Amino acid sequence: MITLSKVSKWYPNFQVLKNCSTHIEKGEVVVVCGPSGSGKSTLIKCVNGLEPFQEGSITVAGISVNDPKTDLPKLRARIGMVFQHFELFPHLTVMRNLELAQIKVLGRKQGEAAAKGMRLLDRVGLSAHARKYPGELSGGQQQRVAIARALAMDPIAMLFDEPTSALDPEMINEVLDVMVALAKEGMTMMVVTHEMGFARRVAHRVVFMDRGEIVEDAPTAEFFGKPRSERAQLFLSKILQH
Amino acid sequence: MFADFDFEVIVRSLPYLFYDGMTFTLMLTALATCGGIFFGTLLAMMRLSGFAPLSLPAASYVNLMRSVPLVLVIFWFYFLVPFIGQWVTGASQPIQVGAFVSSLVTFTLFEAAYFAEIMRAGIQSIPRGQVGAAQALGMTYLQTMGYIVLPQAFRNMLPVLLTQTIVLFQDTSLVYVLSITDFLGAASKIAQRDGRLVEMYLFAALVYFVISFVASLLVRRLQRRVAIIR
């Protein structure tokens, strides 16, 4: 479904991504973890072309992201993305946030988009808040709306960029619950997160990054059981000691 | 101290001052504001495009307009617009456009430079993540601008845009150099005809003050109402 091969990216005086390759099958859940500044967020933003990269290639459902001839907006419409800071549109109601792209990008009718939006709001337990503005919701609620907004586009895969990092601890679970349910349904997911509990429970594979490189790419049990690289061992020992 | 003054002249000329003069002033202000915001937004988008063939001309235009006194621009355009019209349409004679059209073109183009800077600040005030979110949903550049960035930028900048409109309202009085009967032009004509300069100019100043002051109070109230909760 998603294939990255030898992706490298440079900022003017610094290489953020070094030869990153991995593959995500349809229905697979892959967690990307690693210390801050290791390039995880940059990597996931390359997958739908939000960040350009200089070398290598990425394909999603057989379509090249880095080919200049690719209709990127059209491809992005099929890939859901959830951001660290939610990025709901603050000038629109919750319902309008869910409808807008369905209508303007997919060309759905207003009624159809509203029905779909309502179903998804219901699914994330927020149908009572449809008429509110994002600023009136808590962080956890906003992130659940953001997930619903991405799902409203009927995506073939979902990208999560540190979806719980900006949340207060008591709100993390309500968001993770939605993500777990999604994974159980067989959604193809690439998740950048520090939530190792989530990784253990639902990820099929864990990709560990450090300093722009994919250091380890292993099935979940193997990654947590006996990581091969020293850097992954060090990272796990720091993150799991509590 | 007002013994020698004749305030009757004001009462006598009220219909002329407001019906002829103020109507022109308000019409010019309203149309130039709409045009200025439209072209200013285009200029701001060009300038922020990161594409040199668009951003350089836009930046040069804005900087040029902001470095030249308005009175000069008014003069230039008054004398140039007929020739530009001739050049554009290929007519054999300079096209007479009249004082109103000439001043409307002038103010639109001049104010566009100021509105461009306001809109540029407004667009830049929208977090990059908003653009990313819109793009991730499959929106094109124009959709992202039209549905996500510009509506928020307008709301954030509304008080500043309106304050600039108040400045524009005062600036329109400069058209009197073209002998146009705007509010100040009308007051000036009465003042000269009846030899009541002090009375008329005092009254004109008072009217400009009251309108501008009340408008800025309204802007301040509006400011509190439109703020977007984040």
Q: Which domains does chain B have, with CATH numbers?
A: 7-226 (1.10.3720.10)
| Average pLDDT of span B99-112 | 90
pLDDT at A242: 58
The pTM for the full model equals 0.88
CA of A12 vs chain B CAs: smallest distance (Å): 17
> Closest approach of chain B CAs to the CA of A203, in angstroms?
23
Residues of chain B contacting A132 with CB distance shorter than 8 Å = none
- What's the confidence (pLDDT) of residue B2? 66
Chain B residues with CB within 8 Å of chain A CB = 127, 129-130, 132-140, 143, 147-148, 151-152, 155, 228-230
Say which amino acid occupies A48: N
Asked whether A94 and A126 are in contact (CB, 8 A), the reply is yes
**Which of A103, A104, A136, A154 best probes binding to B when mutated, by most B CB atoms within 10 angstroms?**
A104
Burial class (CB in 10 A: 0-12, 13-18, 19+), A12: exposed
Tell me the pLDDT band of A167, cut-offs 50, 70 and 90. very high
As given in the structure block, the two tokens for residue A45 are: 């933003």
Q: Which of A123 and B9 is assigned the larger pLDDT?
A: A123
Which of A78, A100, A135 lies closest to B147 in CB terms?
A100
CB-closest option in A74, A76, A91 to B136: A76
Q: Does A90 touch chain B (CB under 8 A)?
A: yes
All residues of chain A having their beta carbon less than 8 Å from the beta carbon of residue B132 are: 45, 50, 83, 87
Cβ partners under 8 Å of residue B181, min gap 6 = B20, B21, B24, B189
pLDDT band at A241 (very low <50, low <70, confident <90, very high): low
Higher pLDDT, A97 or B84: A97
Nearest to A81 among B130, B136, B148 (CB): B136
Q: What is the pLDDT of residue A10?
A: 93
In this structure, the number of other CB atoms found within 10 A of the CB of residue A106 comes to 17
CB contact under 8 A, A105 and B138: yes
Section B137-161 average pLDDT: 94
Q: What pLDDT is recorded for position B222? A: 86
CB within 8 Å: A136 and B229: yes
The string of DSSP letters for A113-178 reads HHHHHHHHHHHTT-GGGTTS-GGGS-HHHHHHHHHHHHHTT--SEEEEESTTTTS-HHHHHHHHHH
Residue of A nearest to B135 (CA): A73
Compute the distance between CA of residue B131 and CA of residue A50 in angstroms, rounded to an integer: 10
pLDDT digits (tens, 9 = 90+) for B151-164: 999 999 999 999 99
Q: Do A153 and B138 touch (CB under 8 A)?
A: yes
